[in-house]
Amino acid sequence: MDYQQFITIDPAQRNGKPCVRGLRITVTDVLEYLAGGMTVEEIVMDFPDLTADDIRACLAFAADRERRLNVVPPG
């Protein structure tokens, strides 16, 4: 998924945190809802501005960020 169509970073909004489509909902918010046990359907019901694609974009963004982290070699 090309999350760049869904995730925006604007220094003037939410202190530059990655947000969903310029909304005030951050990627971190969505990830915390999922980690807390909410389903995609529950999140979309609670936040009607979000779509299932928005949720998938948050996951893709997080996976990409994780992939880019430097790994410290053992030793």
pLDDT digits (tens, 9 = 90+) for 18-70: 999 999 999 999 999 999 999 999 999 999 999 999 999 999 999 999 998 87
10 in a domain, yes or no?
yes
Task: Give the CATH number, domain containing residue 63.
Answer: 1.10.10.10
Q: Is 18 within 8 Å of 27 (Cβ atoms)? A: yes
Bridge partners, 8 (sequence order): 19
Residue 37 CA to residue 5 CA, distance in Å, equals 26
Q: How many domains does the chain fold into? A: 1
- Residues of the domain holding 57: 3-67
72 in a domain, yes or no?
no
25 in a domain, yes or no?
yes
Q: What per-residue confidence (pLDDT) applies to 74? A: 80
Residue 9 CA to residue 21 CA, distance in Å, equals 9
Model pTM score: 0.89
CA distances (Å), origin 30, targets 2, 44, 70: 17, 10, 24
